[in-house]
Amino acid sequence: MCGIIGYSGHRPAIPAIVEGLHRLEYRGYDSAGVAFQYGDALRVIRAEGKLGALDQKIAGLDIASSVCGIGHTRWATHGLPVERNAHPHMDPGNGFALVHNGIIENYAELKADLVAHGHSFRSETDTEVLVHLIAQGAEQTDNVLQAIHWALQRVEGTYAFALISREHPGKIWASRKASPLLLGLGLGEHFIASDIPAFLPYTRDVVFLDNDEIVEIDAHSWQVFDAATLEPKSKEVRHISWDVQAAQKDGYKHFMLKEIFEQPKVIRDCLAGRIREGQVSLPEAENLDMPQRLTIVACGTSFHAGLWAKYLLESWARIPVQVEIASEFRYRDTVFLPGDLVLTISQSGETADTLAAIRIARDAGVPILGLCNVVGSSIARESDHVIYTQAGPEISVASTKAMCSQMIVLVLLTLYWCQRKNMLTRDELAARLDQLTSVPSILESALPALRDQAQNLCLDYADARSFFFLGRGLYFPLALEGALKLKEISYIHAEGYAAGEMKHGPIALVDAHFPTFALAVHDELLPKVASNLQEVQARGGRIIALMNASAPLTVTSPWILPDVWGAFKSFMVLPAVQLFAYEMAVYLGKDVDQPRNLAKSVTVE
Ligand code: M6R
């Protein structure tokens, strides 16, 4: 939530910063701003609304001489999304400008204290308190690092911030606690940002900052300090393999569509090097004891991937599994048992609730395996073991290819544990892996027709205000995912339900205006699903049903999927529900990649 960027180098800072903000806009988009050195003063330009509004304010300004600055794109937590609350914020003396991602939890008491010392505030944000506090620290020392150190000792909460000072042109300071922050190292230029795509056109050499570190940069130097002691620290520089193209739309109208169509490649990338001679090779899991019980913790779409994997882990590998929503898990007094393993799943690797779950497990002495997409993210670094899902940058707020990659890695992990427990013969395992490797090409051929079908269905169902998504077994979590996708980008109310649970209440809602989207593929539960759909039809409900030609059902709108082996039918169902939501949102004229009220990575509670 919120994207921050800082630049110090040889090129005009504001175009580079604004370009970076566009690449970070997925993190928040209710207002934006930049601050930079302008003559002897700091200048701040801010605008309410999406970045386009800031672009317009900046266009035509004579600011090319500025080679250092900071920028922010906001997802509001404290204070309305209006210009006065947009970042950067300044101290009363206009000596500092600061951008912040996170929440200063004790801001109310800090603010009261500052007001008592004569400070007046220009916004309702928690962030403004932080810049006032740093300025207060600077009254006692002209060393900005010391002033930040002084302020951070008083602050509780989470933050990643970047700061510039009127008295120190060309310098930027930044620090983090539980919100992401990275350093990009170019030639004669350095960046600070919330995420790699912000500076990807300029450099792929990255330093991941850890909690409680402060970094000081200018165009030619950078140094990381321990925030508690101000001792310099040495840090590893990592070269990132992502390319600029991976973070661009590549001719697609929306990132979401591009990312849905990337799924065959994502599956191939996930499988690459992980299947050898009919066996699963997962070195990341080799040092883990076989879990006696697995607790999967995640949020949103990643939670659905975990719920889906539970069916496989239990039935194939015979491992007891519980799947928990991280925001609930963190406040329950969970009972851990010897032999437990906590598996966290996260695309961004920065989701605050999932991170909190990791810390709870760690404090309880339970080993943690993290599944995440973003290399070097907080979850990756705080887990004992990490498996990267290799989906490449996912920009659209609605997660699509990340879930596909998580499911593939979860299949591999399940089969890996089957292998270790000798649950399958060598031939059975090799056959299952063969079936898995055939999925990408089948999906690749199927995607254009899936999209056409989704487009056609929108014409018939765009008037619906509510949808049920029904499935059983493996297809129940995918029904939850289909409903989540539809509501988050098309704003149509949708409920994912276990098909067998309908008659316990929800079926009362069914009528001709409340359609059902059924996941009714050909598996052993199909006869049960078919009965549940009969019950819906008997009450006048219209039904779209994903199904296989080998077991067709008579419904209002049949949607035939290519047939693939057993559980891997899921890899056809997933893009179908994604495309349905996508086409519906496009048809209804919604902002697909940046749906209202949302942000890509949820780094606050
Ligand atoms: O980065 P994470 O996988 O931890 O994110 C979890 C959820 O915030 C995320 O899946 C969210 O639900 C998406 N908007 C769903 O499309």
Q: Look at 253-257, 510-514, 585-589, 599-603 and tell me which has the smallest mean pLDDT.
A: 599-603
Contact 224, 232 (CB under 8 A): yes
Indicate the top mutation candidate among 194, 255, 299 to test ligand 1's pocket, ranked by most ligand atoms within 8 A of CB.
299
Ligand 1 binding pocket, CB closer than 6 Å:
299-302, 346-348, 351, 354, 397-399, 484, 488, 601-602
Share above pLDDT 70 across residues of the chain, in percent, rounded to a whole number: 99
Residues 6+ apart with CB under 8 A from 559: 453, 457, 544, 545, 546, 547, 576
Strands (DSSP E) contained in 435-523 are 466-471, 493-498, 516-519
Give the distance (Å) from ligand 1 centre to CA of residue 601. Answer: 7
Give the distance (Å) from ligand 1 centre to CA of residue 347. Answer: 7
* Counts of helices then strands in the chain (DSSP H, E): 17, 27
Residue range 3-246 in CATH 3.40.309.10? no
pLDDT digits (tens, 9 = 90+) for 292-320: 999 999 999 999 999 999 999 999 999 99
List active site positions: 2, 600
Element (H, E) at 309: helix 300-315
Determine the pLDDT at residue 390. 87
For the entire predicted model, the pTM comes to: 0.81
Same fold, 3-246 and 255-587: no
Residue range 255-587 in CATH 3.40.50.10490? yes
How far apart, in whole angstroms, are the C-alpha atoms of residue 577 and residue 13? Answer: 42
Indicate the top mutation candidate among 351, 395, 406, 574 to test ligand 1's pocket, ranked by most ligand atoms within 8 A of CB.
351
Residues 6+ apart with CB under 8 A from 575: 260, 263, 400, 404, 443, 446, 447, 450
Which atom of ligand 1 lies closest to the CA of 485? 16
Residue 401: name the closest of 415, 390, 412, 388 by CA: 390
Indicate the top mutation candidate among 296, 343, 347 to test ligand 1's pocket, ranked by most ligand atoms within 8 A of CB.
347
Which atom of ligand 1 lies closest to the CA of 348? 1
Flag whether pLDDT at 531 surpasses 90: yes
Domain boundaries along the sequence of the chain:
3-246, 255-587
Determine the pLDDT at residue 202. 94
Alpha helices in 32-160 (DSSP H): 51-58, 107-116, 127-138, 144-152
Determine the pLDDT at residue 233. 97
pLDDT digits (tens, 9 = 90+) for 131-163: 999 999 999 887 999 999 999 999 998 899 999
Which atom of ligand 1 lies closest to the CA of 301? 10
How far apart, in whole angstroms, are the C-alpha atoms of residue 55 and residue 14? Answer: 10
